[in-house]
Amino acid sequence: MPKRTDIKSILILGAGPIVIGQACEFDYSGAQACKALREEGYRVILVNSNPATIMTDPEMADATYIEPIHWEVLEKIIERERPDAILPTMGGQTALNCALDLDRHGVLERYKVEMIGANADAIDKAENRDRFDKAMKAIGLETPNAEMAHSMEEAFDVLDRLGFPCIIRPSFTMGGSGGGIAYNREEFEEICRRGLDLSPTNELLIDESLLGWKEYEMEVVRDKSDNCIIVCTIENFDAMGIHTGDSITVAPAQTLTDKEFQIMRDAAMAVLREIGVETGGSNVQFGVNPDTGRMVIIEMNPRVSRSSALASKATGFPIAKVAAKLAVGYTLDELENEITGGVTPASFEPALDYVVTKIPRFNFEKFANCNDRLTTQMKSVGEIMAIGRNFQESMQKALRGLELGAAGFDPVVDLQAEDARSKVIRELKEPGAERIWYIADAFRLGMTVREVFELTRIDEWYLIQIEELINLEKEVDELGLAGLTEDVMSVLKRRGFADARIADVLHVSEAEVRKKRQQFNIHPVYKRVDTCAAEFASSTAYMYSSYDEECEAEPSDKEKIMVIGGGPNRIGQGIEFDYCCVHAALALRDDGYETIMVNCNPETVSTDYDTSDRLYFEPITLEDVLEIVRIEKPKGVIVQYGGQTPLKLARELEANGVPIIGTSPDAIDRAEDRERFQTAVRRLGLKQPENATVTGFNEALTEAKRIGYPLVVRPSYVLGGRAMEIVYDETDLQRYLTDAVKVSNDAPVLLDKFLDNAIEVDVDAICDGKDVLIGGIMQHIEEAGVHSGDSACSLPPYSLSDIIQAQLREQMRKLAFELNVNGLMNAQFAVKDDEIYLIEVNPRAARTVPFVSKATGVPLAKVAARVMVGRSLQEQGYVKEIIPPYYSVKEVVIPFAKFQGVDPIRGPEMRSTGEVMGVGESFEEAYAKANLGAGEALAKKGKALISVKDSDKQRLMDLARGLLALGFSLEATRGTAKMLAEEGIDCSIVNKLQEGRPNIVDAIKNGEYSYIINTVEGRQAIEDSVYIRREALLNKVIYTTTLNAAFATVKANTADDRARVSSVQELHKRVSLV
């Protein structure tokens, strides 16, 4: 069937901000869908609130709305744009839930919009646990024994029938949100209450326990003529009980017999037919009892999912692109497979002649006191994928690509310690983020494969593979460096051993091992991902390394630029950096360079095979990058766009003769090295907060006394504010120096005077050596002391004077020339009492670049990439700063709800995973829309609780009057209430926790407040008031922990966050008129 001609315009729903469980894989799928549908001549309207995405670039769709994904906002957009159809399967759970809301509120019917890709009934049938169970029984497939519950009473009835342990899963949530495993009544009650609250339909599915079963996923694509293909079979390395997003996964499945595979394949196709997915991709999850062979269907997603992105990258089959074309009427046999250059149709099932391993990346260290054990609720913030010719090679490449300081199966336990064995047993039994390394240590301690299996339920085949690697390490250790012959080296490299790991085992340097390997002339070859196991030639240069015979890289002799990506997502280094890498590749490709991308993150657009001319899916380590440079010989390598990952390699790459373009590694070091930077700042006559670098405990105490408290303390060289704190007195500082960091000559600690109540400002700029282009000045909403990555900000500034802004521009220019910046730079300033203090400068891409680009219409990352290859700002026509005639506000989302036990307060350490943008004619409207997009929309009236620190009490009166004017009634703790009463402000009193009942917690639990303002300072006060913030979070009460944000929120509440919508294209047109 050719494509449909009765529809002309299609609205695509994006996934909104990046959260745990829904990351940048949906930017990848959405961007592919936009491309695919525009290729077919449809008018594409895109809605997504996340500015850090490629899909929201103005050239990706005909009309792009960076607006909250909320059904009322969407109704406004539909009313304006009148699309014929809506495609909700590309934006994860957010898009599906929004589409169902639009359907429920009659919006789709009112404006005659057809849902394509999946209809409302199919979505409901797959997502509604009860209907899904009945559907599976109808086709003779088993699901786990389970029952629905809509209240605590029903839940306890189900428990009586199923018993412990049991698994609780709320309907219509993603990433296992609100779910968990209960082993006793107390846990059961807690998980059920949370799950009922988080499920939009207030329903839970309570399952029998499948703990220890094997878990598989099948990625299936089906068209409306009932052609069905299995794109990929993914096997979970970890047994059931760990969310699949937190499991190590392997493709193709390694431990299925052919018969089991065929049974599963038939079942997966039957599931799609029964649910009614006719046009697109779905994933079906299976559980298999390893003892009895019993197979059950766990769930299916009637949309493109996290696993589809992984399957697309693992096979080279672009699921999202194909799904988008199927949604408009094509069938699989009508579509070409692009990777083979159209030699095969899309109806050919991909075949793999390699093994792919995905390992999740966690950030537990960012969330003090959280439970870091892995359960059915997803907690990972990113992932890495590696490709090898065998499982061992693939696994070891993945381990070194995680960037956790391990080059392979590095030991994590002191094997000589008395408690080594008991520690390993605990880690195997109760899995945490590092279990894979503890498995290796178990074998080092002499445990058998069977013993490890009994503790982990990980298939023995995988355990044997790991045991073999540990035995190999022992042999190498015994042979010593002299015994590292050409044959031994070849064996090690084919099993995936990195030079650095071999060096660790032999207690020599990595350089010595590299030298020896080069003497033997042992180098990797590069194989192509071709979807057909090399049956047909592939015209697509999508490569991975292996120590095999034949090299398929076929490098050209064109002028090439190589871009090194950011590796796995983590807090502090996310999609914003990938966005910059993609822009560099696109811009330089347009300019006639051959672009080479090196990255290992399967979720991103940068690892899409058509983003660059050549893609190397490889870990970002010195060894891996040098080998690619050896074969490709690029004219220049860009390291400033991928965050700290490529920057950490810059010096060594340069030392190995790699041509790094843009700002030199030395200039970057000048900005990062405290003493060198201070010299530059003094020469320019700029101010910095009083500071010191200390290398010992007593020196720290002496310097702290000299500077004066409060202080910001942190280790040097970090991204995202790792281990950064504000200390208020000497006791606090002593605790920090003994608990949080170990201060030494190799690990100095930085002390900075903390500027209380200062306004923080971010400025992005580009310098080409002659001119400086100011990209944008962003005023933070939270005062200094909240990490810039966790603060909301406004462009243009909403209260900074023109004089201050002019001074900021002048300081940026001076810094750019002083540091010899060639490309992007970002600086952070604090403004206090009309004085400007420089906090830090980063002569590289910053996480604000995508936001500024969307707000102003200037593609900063593209412009800067061209500057790096020698095209001046004048030549490109970008010399004048663009100040838009409207406001854009960036707000962040922080995954506090995923980590019970954490204090949900914004501070100097970055913890947000994603961002949204709101645009309005006034600051108030823009901030209100940003809050709605982040899921933090404030009620229009109700009761507000106020409990603030002493230093905020002076400014509190105006805020209290503002809340009263909005129609709120006020309640406060005694000290605050007394002060308000003295000013004649009417306010009731509530007991603190220690003052008797009923108290604040009772009032929050009873739903009495619609807004809470809670500001504190000093460790003791923060610890004493944590219960207020935790209860507010648990009970979904909007709360603010800084006074500036409270003022902004009250102002924003006067604006209508759903009244007006504008497309990015319209906004940028207004900018060009200015």
pLDDT digits (tens, 9 = 90+) for 562-614: 999 999 999 999 999 999 999 999 999 999 999 999 999 999 999 999 999 99
pLDDT at 748: 83
CATH of 526-659, one of 3.40.50.2000, 3.40.50.12280, 3.30.1490.20, 3.40.50.20: 3.40.50.20
| 807 φ/ψ sector (left φ>0, alpha ψ -120 to 50, else beta) | alpha
Burial of 18 (0-12, 13-18, 19+ CB in 10 A): buried
Domain segments of the chain as ranges: 9-124, 526-659, 690-749, 759-843+848-882, 940-1052
pLDDT top residue among 389 and 736: 389
E strand segments, 118-213:
146-149, 166-170, 180-182, 204-208
Q: Give yes or no on whether 9-124 and 940-1052 have one common fold.
A: yes
pLDDT top residue among 683 and 1034: 683
pLDDT higher than 90, residue 1034:
no
The distance of Cα 226 from the centroid of its chain, to the nearest Å, equals: 35
pLDDT at 179: 84
Which of 165-169, 267-271, 503-507, 798-802 has the lowest average pLDDT? 165-169
> For residue 156, what pLDDT band results from cuts at 50, 70 and 90?
very high
> For residue 695, what pLDDT band results from cuts at 50, 70 and 90?
confident
Which residue in 926, 450, 397, 356 sits closest to 627, CA to CA? Answer: 397
Q: From CA 898, how far away is CA 729, in angstroms rounded? A: 32
pLDDT higher than 80, residue 1072:
no
Nearby residues of 689 by Cβ (< 8 Å), 6 or more positions away: 752, 753, 754, 755, 830, 837, 839
Which of 33-47, 113-127, 463-477, 913-927 has the lowest average pLDDT? 113-127
Integer angstrom CA distances of residue 68 from 14, 27, 98, 908, 1033: 10, 16, 11, 27, 21
Q: From CA 595, how far away is CA 170, in angstroms rounded? A: 45
9-124 folds as Rossmann fold (3.40.50)
124 phi and psi, to 5 degrees?
Answer: -65, -40
Adjacent-strand bridge partners of 763: 777, 827
Q: From CA 246, how far away is CA 91, in angstroms rounded? A: 20
Residue spans of alpha helices (H) in 673-823: 674-684, 697-707, 730-735, 802-818
Q: From CA 626, how far away is CA 632, in angstroms rounded? A: 10
The angle formed by the CA atoms of residues 82, 83 and 88, to the nearest 5 degrees, is 135
Q: From CA 1018, how far away is CA 758, in angstroms rounded? A: 17
> For residue 40, what pLDDT band results from cuts at 50, 70 and 90?
very high
pTM for the model: 0.95
- Render pLDDT for 647-679 as a digit per residue (tens, 0 to 9): 999 999 999 999 999 999 999 999 988 889 999
Which residue in 534, 532, 528 sits closest to 551, CA to CA? Answer: 528
Which residue in 1041, 1048, 995 sits closest to 1017, CA to CA? Answer: 1041
Q: From CA 1038, how far away is CA 1053, in angstroms rounded? A: 13
pLDDT higher than 70, residue 495:
yes
**How many CB atoms sit inside 10 A of residue 715's CB?**
16
pLDDT at 603: 95
Average pLDDT over residues 819-832: 97
Average pLDDT over residues 856-881: 98
Q: CATH class for domain 690-749?
A: alpha beta
State the average pLDDT for the chain.
93
pLDDT higher than 60, residue 349:
yes
pLDDT at 674: 81
| 276 φ/ψ sector (left φ>0, alpha ψ -120 to 50, else beta) | left
Axis-axis angle for helices 319-327, 306-315 (nearest 10): 110
Residue for token digits 């995202």? 720
Average pLDDT over residues 425-445: 97
Average pLDDT over residues 189-202: 85
CATH of 940-1052, one of 3.40.50.1820, 3.30.2090.10, 3.40.50.1380, 3.40.5.90: 3.40.50.1380
Paired tokens of 326: 């199927």
Question: Is 636:868 a contact under the CB 8 Å cutoff?
Answer: yes
> For residue 723, what pLDDT band results from cuts at 50, 70 and 90?
confident
pLDDT at 1063: 98
pLDDT top residue among 704 and 370: 704
pLDDT at 473: 98
Question: Is 808:837 a contact under the CB 8 Å cutoff?
Answer: no
Nearby residues of 497 by Cβ (< 8 Å), 6 or more positions away: 396, 408, 469, 472
- Render pLDDT for 317-341 as a digit per residue (tens, 0 to 9): 999 999 999 999 999 999 998 888 8
pLDDT > 90: percent of the chain = 78
- Render pLDDT for 928-967 as a digit per residue (tens, 0 to 9): 999 999 998 878 889 999 999 888 888 999 999 999 999 9
Question: How many helices (H) does the chain have, and how many strands (E)?
Answer: 38, 38
Q: From CA 734, how far away is CA 751, in angstroms rounded? A: 13
- Pairing, β 594-599 against β 614-617: parallel
Instruction: Tell whether domain 759-843+848-882 is in CATH 3.30.930.10.
Output: no
pLDDT at 907: 87
What 8-state DSSP symbol labels residue 306?
H
Nearby residues of 374 by Cβ (< 8 Å), 6 or more positions away: 238, 242, 243, 246, 431, 432, 433, 435
Adjacent-strand bridge partners of 527: 544
825 phi and psi, to 5 degrees?
Answer: -150, 155
**How many CB atoms sit inside 10 A of residue 137's CB?**
11
Which residue in 774, 764, 756, 882 sits closest to 831, CA to CA? Answer: 756
> For residue 837, what pLDDT band results from cuts at 50, 70 and 90?
very high
pLDDT higher than 60, residue 720:
no
Average pLDDT over residues 228-257: 96
Average pLDDT over residues 306-314: 93
What residue type is 207 in one-letter code? D
Paired tokens of 823: 């490309």
What is the Cβ-side half-sphere exposure of residue 108, based on CA atoms within 13 angstroms? 19
pLDDT at 696: 84
Q: From CA 765, how far away is CA 746, in angstroms rounded? A: 33
Paired tokens of 418: 């008395």
Average pLDDT over residues 98-124: 94
Q: What is the DSSP string of 1011-1025?
A: EEEE---SHHHHHHT
Please state whether the peptide bond connecting residue 165 to the residue before it is cis, i.e. omega within 30 degrees of 0.
yes
Residue for token digits 């010399």? 879
Average pLDDT over residues 298-315: 92
pLDDT higher than 60, residue 451:
yes
- Render pLDDT for 952-1009 as a digit per residue (tens, 0 to 9): 888 999 999 999 999 999 999 998 999 999 999 999 999 998 899 999 999 998 999 9
Q: From CA 229, how far away is CA 346, in angstroms rounded? A: 9
pLDDT higher than 80, residue 739:
no
Please state whether the peptide bond connecting residue 797 to the residue before it is cis, i.e. omega within 30 degrees of 0.
no
Adjacent-strand bridge partners of 299: 285
Most confident range (mean pLDDT) of 181-185, 522-526, 784-788 is: 522-526
Residue for token digits 């997504």? 48
pLDDT at 744: 63
Burial of 519 (0-12, 13-18, 19+ CB in 10 A): exposed
